Chains A and B, each alone.
Chain A
Amino acid sequence: MKRYFFVSLSILVLTLSAACHKDHEASSAEITFIEPSLNDTIANAAELHVEGTISADGEMHSYTLKISNAANDSVYFTKSSSQHAESYAFHEHWVNNLTDTTLVKVTVEVELNHEGAKTSKTVNVVCLP
C-alpha cells in the first residue's frame, strides 16, 4: 500500500513539475503599442484606446496594463492577467475624466518567468480637461 502511495505521489510531483514548463519560460519579450502613439492628445470625456501585443521567446507568467499620472503615479486604471502564454493581445478603453491637463503614462509590464524577471514599456499621452 505504501509503495503505491509513493508511486502515485511521484507521478503527481512529476506531472506538476511538467505543468510548470519551466524550460519554456520566457527570457525576453517585445511589447508593441498599436495605440496610443507617443504624445497623443485625449479630449475630455473621450476614450483612451490602448491596444497592442506582447510576444516572447517562451511562456510568460503575467502582465499588467496600467494608466497613471506621469508626475505622481496616481493610478487611474489597472488590469492584470495571470494567464501563462507566449503571446498576448491587449485591447482596453479608459474614459478621460481628468479635470486638469495631465501627462498620463500608459504602461505594460510583463513578468517573464519564475525568477521574477520583468520587462515593461510606457507611452505618454496628454489628457485635456
Chain B
Amino acid sequence: MRYFIIVCALLGVLHSSACDVCGGVSSNSSIGLFAATRFHMLGIQGGYRSFNTYLHEIRHSREQIFSTDIRFRFQLHRRIQLSGLLPYQFAVQQTDFGSNKIYGLGDLSLMSNFIVLNNRDTSGLTRNFLSFAIGVKTASGKNTIHSNPLKNIYPGTGSWDLLLLSNYTHQFNSKWGWQSEASVSVKGKDSYGYSFGNSYQLTSQAVLNLPVSSYRLISAFGFNGEYHEAAELDAEIPIIPNLNRGYVWAARAAVNLMGTNWLLSAYLQQPFLQNFNEGLTKQGLSAGISFNYLINK
C-alpha cells in the first residue's frame, strides 16, 4: 500500500492540444504526476479553455474550446512507458455578429518515457524520480490553410511535431513532494509551408498526498509557464511579424482521488501574467476533469 501511495506522488495527466495557439495558447504534452507509477492506464479527459481576442483594446471575439481526449499508457518495461492521446475538439468563436463553430478529431500524439532515476529509501518510498520522454504529434487531425482566420481554433495543426520532455520528482516525506516538468515542442510545417513556432513549457508544483477513507487524495498547487515562438511561413508572402508569439504564466491547482484501480482528476489553471500576439490575445481560465482506469502490470 505504501508503495502504491508513493508512486501516486505524481499525477499522470497526459494533456495536449493539437492547436498550438488557439486564440492564444495551449500547452505542450505533459506526463505529469503519475510518471512514477507502474500501471497501465486507459482514460478519458474533458477539457475547457477560453481566450479573448482584442482589436484596438476592445474585445473583438471570445474563443471557447471544449475537448475530449482518449488516452492510454502502456508499461512496456520497468523503465519504459508508451503513452498516446487522441483528442476530439469542439471550438466556438463568438463575435459581435455571431459565432463560428469548428469541430473534429485532433492530432494523435505518441510518446515514450524513459525512466533514468528512481531512488527509493528502505521503506520503499520513491525519493527521487527522473525521466526523459520523446514523442511525436502527428498531422492526423482536421486542419486548414493559414489564410483561414479560424485556423487557430481548428483541432489539428497539420504538422508533425517533435516532443521532448523531462520530469523530475522529489518526495520529502510520505505526504509532501515536489514535481517539475520541462518540455519542448519542435514544430514542423503543414502542407502549405506554415509552421506554428516552437513552444517551451515549465510546470512546477507542490504535491500533498493524504489518505481519505480507503482512497488517496492527491492535491497539487503550483504554476505553469509557456513561451511560444512566432509562427513562420515557408513562402514568399510574409505573415504578420510576431504572429502567435508570446508567453503566459498561470497558477495551477489539481486534485486527484485514487481508488485501487481508478483515478479521478480535476484541474484549474488561471493565467496571471501573459503577452500573446502583442497583447491582442489573452488566455482565460482552463479546466479539465478526467477518469483513468488503472491496470496493474
Across-interface contacts of B98 in A (CB, < 8 A): 79
B72-96 CB contacts (< 8 Å) to partner A = 96
Question: With the chains together, A89 CA to B97 CA distance in Å?
Answer: 11
Decide: A79 and B56 in contact? CB cutoff 8 A: no
Asked if B235 is at the interface (CB within 8 A of a chain A CB), the reply is no
Across-interface contacts of A51 in B (CB, < 8 A): 55
Interface string of A14-43 (1 = CB under 8 A from B): 000000000000000000001000000000
Asked if B59 is at the interface (CB within 8 A of a chain A CB), the reply is yes
Interface string of A78-108 (1 = CB under 8 A from B): 0111010001111110000000000000000
In the complex, residue of chain A having the shortest beta-carbon distance to the beta carbon of B95: A81
Highest count of chain A CB atoms <10 Å: which of B54, B56, B96, B98: B96
Highest count of chain A CB atoms <10 Å: which of B55, B60, B97: B97
Question: With the chains together, A87 CA to B54 CA distance in Å?
Answer: 12
Decide: B58 and A79 in contact? CB cutoff 8 A: no
Question: With the chains together, A90 CA to B59 CA distance in Å?
Answer: 10
B30-76 CB contacts (< 8 Å) to partner A = 54-56, 58-60
Across-interface contacts of B60 in A (CB, < 8 A): 89, 91
B21 CB to nearest A CB, Å: 19
Decide: A91 and B97 in contact? CB cutoff 8 A: no
Decide: B58 and A83 in contact? CB cutoff 8 A: no
Across-interface contacts of A63 in B (CB, < 8 A): 96
In the complex, residue of chain A having the shortest beta-carbon distance to the beta carbon of B96: A81
A75 CB to nearest B CB, Å: 15
Q: How many residues of A contact B (CB 8 A)?
A: 15
B161-187 CB contacts (< 8 Å) to partner A = none
Q: Which of A65, A80, A88, A92 contacts B58 (CB 8 A)?
A: A88
Chain B interface mostly: strand
Question: With the chains together, A44 CA to B55 CA distance in Å?
Answer: 28
Question: With the chains together, A65 CA to B98 CA distance in Å?
Answer: 13
Question: With the chains together, A79 CA to B56 CA distance in Å?
Answer: 20
Asked if A53 is at the interface (CB within 8 A of a chain B CB), the reply is yes
Across-interface contacts of B54 in A (CB, < 8 A): 89
Question: With the chains together, A51 CA to B58 CA distance in Å?
Answer: 12
Decide: A81 and B97 in contact? CB cutoff 8 A: yes
Decide: B97 and A80 in contact? CB cutoff 8 A: yes
Question: With the chains together, A88 CA to B98 CA distance in Å?
Answer: 14
Question: With the chains together, A65 CA to B55 CA distance in Å?
Answer: 17
Decide: B56 and A34 in contact? CB cutoff 8 A: yes
In the complex, residue of chain B having the shortest beta-carbon distance to the beta carbon of A64: B97
Across-interface contacts of B97 in A (CB, < 8 A): 65, 79-81, 92
Across-interface contacts of B96 in A (CB, < 8 A): 63, 81, 83, 88, 90
Across-interface contacts of A90 in B (CB, < 8 A): 96
Across-interface contacts of A83 in B (CB, < 8 A): 96
Question: With the chains together, A79 CA to B96 CA distance in Å?
Answer: 9
Across-interface contacts of A87 in B (CB, < 8 A): 58
Question: With the chains together, A87 CA to B57 CA distance in Å?
Answer: 10
Across-interface contacts of A91 in B (CB, < 8 A): 55, 60
B147 CB to nearest A CB, Å: 12
Across-interface contacts of B59 in A (CB, < 8 A): 89
Across-interface contacts of A80 in B (CB, < 8 A): 97
Across-interface contacts of A88 in B (CB, < 8 A): 58, 96
B9 CB to nearest A CB, Å: 47
B94 CB to nearest A CB, Å: 9
Across-interface contacts of B58 in A (CB, < 8 A): 53, 87-89
Selected A-B contacts with CB under 8 Å, 12 pairs: A34-B56, A63-B96, A65-B97, A79-B98, A81-B97, A83-B96, A87-B58, A89-B56, A89-B59, A89-B60, A90-B96, A92-B97
Further 13 A-B residue pairs, CB within 8 A, beyond A63-B96, A79-B97: A51-B55, A65-B97, A79-B98, A80-B97, A83-B96, A87-B58, A88-B96, A89-B54, A89-B55, A89-B56, A89-B60, A90-B96, A92-B97
